[in-house]
Chains A and B, each alone.
Chain A
Amino acid sequence: MTAFLLRRSLAALVMLLVVGTIIFSLLIIVPGDPAELLLTTGGGTTTPEAVAALRETMGLDQPVLIQYLQFLGDTLRLNFGTSIIDGTEISQAIGLRLPRTLELIAAAAILALAIGIPSGTYAALRAGSAFDVITSGIMALLTSVPVFVVGTLFIYVFAQILKILPAGGYTALSDDPAAHFRALILPAVSVSLNLMAIVFRMTRASVLEMRSHDWVRTATAKGLRRKLVIRRHILRNAMGPVITVVGLQLGILLGSTVLVEFVYNWPGLSGLLVTAVEQRDYPTVRAIILTVAAIFIVINLAIDILYSVLDPRIRLK
């Protein structure tokens, strides 16, 4: 186990380096000059001298290779530096934003699992029944309605007409816990819908497959109560694939809650990333990508470990 973790950590470090290099090069070739963009925000005018002056302040007048080496050095020292747009500490901004995105994802995941697994199991055990057909239909609907439509609809109904929930935004938990959770409801539900459908489908398929295995018959032949057969010998085995998919989705969600954060003005990491890309705030983009990549690697590792726990036949290598 220790050797395994050590090897994976080393691999992770190499991966982060690769990711960092890729993102650095991508940003170099993407058009758009942060200095000019900043000075012309919203369609204003500027002058070439002003742009040149600002570029110098931003450190963009350095040769690319120097910038790259500097970036590598800073990264290895875990120093993300400051935003070239407004000079704030990037690690501070990420520290502020990341927990919110994680909270959003966690709330959505809990909701998705809490509904997706039982309903998927039930649908599989009653494959072909009315429940199965209707639930599968609803879940297909959930995967197909874009989140920004759902979001707009939710806001229209719950905020604009009923006025029972805020249209968007964020209140810190420490400021007002009630307001905090009220603002969390709509975005979390919106994120969870798609995830829920995925969990449902994966669970249903997995349970369908597992329930026809010989060991299920063995368990029944032992005289186990049906509930136990389902729980221990169908669901337990079905969780492997479900966990893999959910884990993968969670990782992807980290960087793709963008639309939800946008629609609900949820001040998470994705929003920061999109703004940073729009403003060509290179250091911030790089820092966020590296952070997301690191978390993703950790999630992957966790899935691998969990998978080996769930299925003892899989050995960690």
Chain B
Amino acid sequence: MKNDHKQNGVDRRTVLMSMGAGVTALAMPNFVYAQASDKVLRFGLSTFPPSVKPHDNTGQAANTVKLMMLRGLTGYDADGKLSGELAESWEMVDPQTYVFQLRDNAVFHNGNPVMAKDVVFSLNKITAEGSSAFLKSDLSSIASVTALADKTVEIKLSSPSAVLLDLLANFNANIIAEGSTDEEFVGAGPFKMKSQERGVFIELERFDDFYEAGKPMVAGVKFIAYGDENLRYAALEAGDVDLIEYLPWQNFDAVDASSTLKMSSAVGPFMFLLFNVTNPDSPLANPKVRQAIGYAVKRQDVVDAAFAGRGEPLLGFPNPPGSPFDLSDPSREWSYDPEKAKALLAEAGYPNGFDCTLLATSTYGMHQDTASVVAAYLQMIGINAKLDLPDWGSRVTAGKEGKYDIAVHGTAGYYNDPDSVYTLLHSDNPSYLQSFGFKSENIDGLLERGRQETDVKKRKAIYEELATAYFEEVPQVPLNWRQQAYAMANNVQGFNAYPGFLTFASPYVVDDTSVE
């Protein structure tokens, strides 16, 4: 949030990336680590990818694996800056037209070069009727994709988009060889599939013809799934794996103190409360009540109890760290103020509070712990929230069907721009991640305008307005940012967590990671 906005703005008309800077930067490490390249990076995942499909979003673990095997047109470099992947360069011809130049040396795992027709095929597959692709609605603004030449492709939009390049950098915007299916696909990532056992491990080996010379620096990656967070950490400490994601919060201190382990963390995902506002008789349909809840929770306690102190209170609109805009403003923040909360409740007609259910899930400890603390604070202003903790599957259904009064959730956007809350707030896209029945034309309109506006100043004004609307209409009550950490053995070099919402894109950096 402290970011200024001079860096990678969307006003950048032409970005020529990679080749020059990339090669010089990477020539050295390649030379240095050439000898150590028989090492395999053993990577402890928090869960086994339920399925690996190029364009479906099946969770963080799957996305990590996909980043190894597949690439899209754009991506992020080790600093979290937008970079070219299969696209060597691109040009915004006009706000609704982009032309991408593909790398000459980009080849698929089957040896065929990556061609413009493959890009056309892939993007059309995402936006096709009946597609279950994650980016289907986000990329629905693509009017056409045309192969201008073997290595040149043009994307025409039906409306301007400030975030197209970020969307294309998403791990679900992968380019696959023409003719691939969800099950049988050919990608052009740095690694290719060697072997796997469902639920246990996935073993990848280096793709020698990867387009970035000298990369990757390890002979392969072996992903091992550890569902139990205690074991995931224990496996790292015992030396069974080199690197783990989702370092449990209670182990941060131990890693800090360890002489053999290190970690890289970033404040990224955030926790928040959702409300069922469909029933007009429900107290929660009243924004004043939701505001009261905003004032009622002491957020540092949530951070301390659920995240071992590793996080930051989030008092207002979740503008990601690293966002081009600074939207902070104390006048639209919920500081901890129980008196004000009670006053608002009284004003709304509930001076004695009310009874309700608080939905979370027992599957994830952080959700359950957050709910416990929130319930304790709601109790203090007279709201008697009964916890409902089904397993994750039921939790999702309950959220989708509105079988709750208040719900706890946590997530992250996919890029460091306020637009990444679009799917969390826009009513065209109702899901369990949104307050059930909440619809605000004002907020919807602001989100649409922000996405289509390419002028930085105007965009900022729009998002200022959105932050105020967020505070007044309360589509969600934010609680806190949480730190998301990767922990690794000291001999793992070159791996670091990406900032803000990009934290889940961190595996891009495996390209630059080596094991000594």
Question: A residues engaging B (CB < 8 A)?
Answer: 30-33, 35-51, 53-54, 56-57, 83, 85-88, 93, 96-97, 152, 155-156, 159-160, 163, 166-170, 262-265, 267, 271-272, 275, 277-280
Structural contact, A36 and B397, CB atoms closer than 8 A: yes
- The residue on B at minimum CB distance from A280 is B393
Structural contact, A32 and B429, CB atoms closer than 8 A: no
Having A45-B57, A47-B136, one finds 19 other A-B pairs with CB under 8 Å, namely: A31-B397, A35-B132, A39-B134, A40-B396, A40-B433, A41-B47, A42-B60, A42-B61, A47-B137, A86-B52, A155-B231, A159-B234, A159-B238, A166-B235, A168-B240, A169-B235, A263-B231, A264-B231, A278-B393
Complex Cα distance, B56 from A85, in Å, reads 12
Structural contact, A41 and B237, CB atoms closer than 8 A: no
Q: Which residues does chain B contribute within 8 Å of A156, judged by CB atoms?
A: 234
Residue B133, interface by CB 8 Å: yes
Q: Which residues does chain B contribute within 8 Å of A45, judged by CB atoms?
A: 57, 134, 411, 423-424, 429, 431, 433
Closest chain-B Cβ to A104's Cβ sits at a distance in Å of 14
* Contact residue among B48, B228, B423 (Cβ-Cβ distance under 8 Å from A275): B48
Structural contact, B396 and A44, CB atoms closer than 8 A: no
Binary contact readout B373-412 vs A (1 if CB under 8 angstroms, 0 otherwise): 0000000000000000011111011101000000001110
Complex Cα distance, B228 from A39, in Å, reads 22
Q: Which residues does chain A contribute within 8 Å of B224, judged by CB atoms?
A: 169, 265
SS of B interface (majority)? loop
Closest chain-A Cβ to B162's Cβ sits at a distance in Å of 19
Complex Cα distance, B395 from A41, in Å, reads 12
- The residue on A at minimum CB distance from B367 is A43
Interface centre among A83, A263, A265 (most CB of B within 10 A): A265
Across the A-B interface, the 4 shortest Cβ-Cβ residue pairs: A41-B59, A32-B393, A42-B59, A159-B238
Q: Which residues does chain B contribute within 8 Å of A88, judged by CB atoms?
A: 198
Q: Which residues does chain A contribute within 8 Å of B120, judged by CB atoms?
A: none
Complex Cα distance, B361 from A37, in Å, reads 14
* Contact residue among B57, B137, B390, B397 (Cβ-Cβ distance under 8 Å from A39): B57
Structural contact, B131 and A50, CB atoms closer than 8 A: yes
Residue B62, interface by CB 8 Å: yes
Residue B330, interface by CB 8 Å: no
* Contact residue among A33, A168, A262 (Cβ-Cβ distance under 8 Å from B397): A33
Interface centre among A156, A262, A278, A280 (most CB of B within 10 A): A278
Q: Assuming A46-B57, A47-B429, A265-B226, is B134 touching A159 (CB within 8 A)? A: no
Q: Which residues does chain B contribute within 8 Å of A93, judged by CB atoms?
A: 198-199
Complex Cα distance, B132 from A212, in Å, reads 71
Closest chain-A Cβ to B209's Cβ sits at a distance in Å of 28
Residue B350, interface by CB 8 Å: no
Interface centre among A48, A53, A280 (most CB of B within 10 A): A53
Q: Which of B225-255 contact A (CB under 8 A)?
A: 225-228, 230-231, 234-235, 237-240
* Contact residue among B60, B240, B393 (Cβ-Cβ distance under 8 Å from A31): B393
Complex Cα distance, B260 from A160, in Å, reads 12
Complex Cα distance, B47 from A265, in Å, reads 11
Q: Which residues does chain A contribute within 8 Å of B231, judged by CB atoms?
A: 155, 167-168, 263-265
Closest chain-B Cβ to A286's Cβ sits at a distance in Å of 16
- The residue on A at minimum CB distance from B395 is A32
Complex Cα distance, B59 from A152, in Å, reads 27
Structural contact, A40 and B431, CB atoms closer than 8 A: yes
Complex Cα distance, B189 from A280, in Å, reads 31
Structural contact, A39 and B56, CB atoms closer than 8 A: yes
Q: Which residues does chain B contribute within 8 Å of A47, judged by CB atoms?
A: 136-137, 429, 431
Complex Cα distance, B433 from A36, in Å, reads 12
Structural contact, B237 and A167, CB atoms closer than 8 A: yes
Q: Which residues does chain A contribute within 8 Å of B60, judged by CB atoms?
A: 41-42
- The residue on A at minimum CB distance from B140 is A47
Structural contact, A278 and B391, CB atoms closer than 8 A: yes
- The residue on A at minimum CB distance from B403 is A31
Q: Which residues does chain B contribute within 8 Å of A280, judged by CB atoms?
A: 393
Q: Assuming A50-B132, A271-B199, is B239 touching A163 (CB within 8 A)? A: yes
Q: Which residues does chain B contribute within 8 Å of A37, judged by CB atoms?
A: 392-393, 396
Structural contact, A160 and B238, CB atoms closer than 8 A: yes
- The residue on B at minimum CB distance from A183 is B240
Q: Assuming A41-B62, A44-B411, is B199 touching A166 (CB within 8 A)? A: no
- The residue on B at minimum CB distance from A274 is B227
Structural contact, B134 and A43, CB atoms closer than 8 A: no
Structural contact, A46 and B134, CB atoms closer than 8 A: yes
Residue B200, interface by CB 8 Å: yes
Q: Which residues does chain A contribute within 8 Å of B430, judged by CB atoms?
A: 48
Q: Which of B43-68 contact A (CB under 8 A)?
A: 47-48, 50-52, 56-62
Closest chain-A Cβ to B271's Cβ sits at a distance in Å of 11
* Contact residue among A43, A169, A271 (Cβ-Cβ distance under 8 Å from B409): A43
Complex Cα distance, B396 from A282, in Å, reads 17
Q: Which residues does chain B contribute within 8 Å of A57, judged by CB atoms?
A: 132
Q: Which residues does chain A contribute within 8 Å of B50, judged by CB atoms?
A: 38, 41, 85-86, 279
Closest chain-A Cβ to B98's Cβ sits at a distance in Å of 24
Closest chain-B Cβ to A48's Cβ sits at a distance in Å of 8
Structural contact, B363 and A87, CB atoms closer than 8 A: no
* Contact residue among B57, B235, B237 (Cβ-Cβ distance under 8 Å from A44): B57
Residue B281, interface by CB 8 Å: no
Complex Cα distance, B224 from A97, in Å, reads 16
Structural contact, A86 and B431, CB atoms closer than 8 A: no
Structural contact, B134 and A36, CB atoms closer than 8 A: no
Closest chain-B Cβ to A103's Cβ sits at a distance in Å of 15
Closest chain-A Cβ to B360's Cβ sits at a distance in Å of 12
